[in-house]
Amino acid sequence: MMEKREFANTGIMVSAIGLGCMGMSSSYGERNDEESIKTLQRSLELGIDFWDTSDIYGNGDNEKLISKVLRENRNRVFIATKVGFRSGNDTDDGVARQGNYLDGRPEHIKKAVSACLDRLGVECIDLLYLHRVDPNVPVEDSIKAMAKFVEQGKVKYLGISECTLDDLNRAHKIHPISAVQSEYSLVERTVEKNGILQRTKEINAVFVPFAPLGRGLITNKKHMQHLQPTDFRYNIPRYNGEHRINNENLANELDLYAKENFNATVSQLAIAWVLAQQDNIIPIPGTKRRIYLEENVKSIDIHLSERHLKDINAILDKYPNVGERYAARQKGFLKK
């Protein structure tokens, strides 16, 4: 049975494992809307009720896809979406830009949230994130614009994604930040070092790790050798050259450890490891296929002792050359 975790000291209990929906509509090769809808439906059967999307995923198509299941199950789903990214063709001046870009201006936030509500087909969004902090707009201005929707009863809680510690603190002074999202996994632990993970505990926020499986880095070794140009991981350093070799060796050893100690897959071990770090963590492994959803759910049955955690850290220490998690353009969206 799926465990529950409290959402941000609110008394609201949500599934300890959520569902990241991005890959259903973008970034990971061809879409299969029929299978994605079945995956959403199956997630509810398995007790997974914490769903994550964004207005930029598929340029709104992901929210529309989710709405096909959400509308009939509104009381069963805690829905989170994000604003602050725009596609290159979505401009106010009529001049197309190359690729996605950030826009945290209040006037854009206002239009974007209203559009999210329409696409999702809901009267109120449970959790609204600022997807990235726009370096050209004070984070306070973006959060104030989002907070107006809370005042209007159209959003319940606010969150922020991929932020610096300073931006988190500044945002929290304007309006309580209930959730912080960033990448966190066996191969990506920056939030342990930059203070973000600890700060979420201090402000009673949940920490929501995306890519807890390392974007397939340690769970799908064969596929990693044959990425297609349409897959956004194609140019990321971690999946190429010496880094890929390092990570294949790491994946092999973690896979063996999972089998020998838990009769489990490395995916299940990876999610269990994330869950074991803090009790305010709700990972959102993404998938568009039921077979992987059902595999991921079983991670809830793995309980890691202190010995297990030490063993895993020892394995990670043997393979430090993991590589950068983003290519140059993607890194440009992260505020330094």
Q: What is the DSSP string of 129-189?
A: EE-S--TTS-HHHHHHHHHHHHHTTSEEEEEEES--HHHHHHHHHHS-EEEEEEE-BTTB-
Q: What is the C-alpha separation between 284 and 18, in angstroms, rounded?
A: 4
Q: Are 132 and 91 in contact (CB under 8 A)?
A: no
Q: What residue spans of the chain are helical by DSSP H?
A: 33-45, 61-70, 106-120, 139-151, 165-174, 190-193, 196-202, 221-224, 241-262, 266-275, 290-297, 306-318, 328-331
Q: Are 334 and 162 in contact (CB under 8 A)?
A: yes
Q: Which single residue is written with the structure tokens 């005042």?
A: 151
| Residue 26, φ and ψ in degrees, nearest 5 | -165, 165
Residue 38: Cβ-neighbour burial (10 angstroms; 0-12, 13-18, 19+):
middle
Q: Which single residue is written with the structure tokens 């529309």?
A: 64
Q: Give the residue from 238, 311, 232, 299 showing the smallest Cα distance to 271.
A: 299
CB atoms within 10 A of CB 73: 12
- β-partners of residue 46 are none
Joined together, the tokens standing for residue 29 give 């090769």
Residue 57 among the catalytic residues: yes
Cite the active site residues: 57
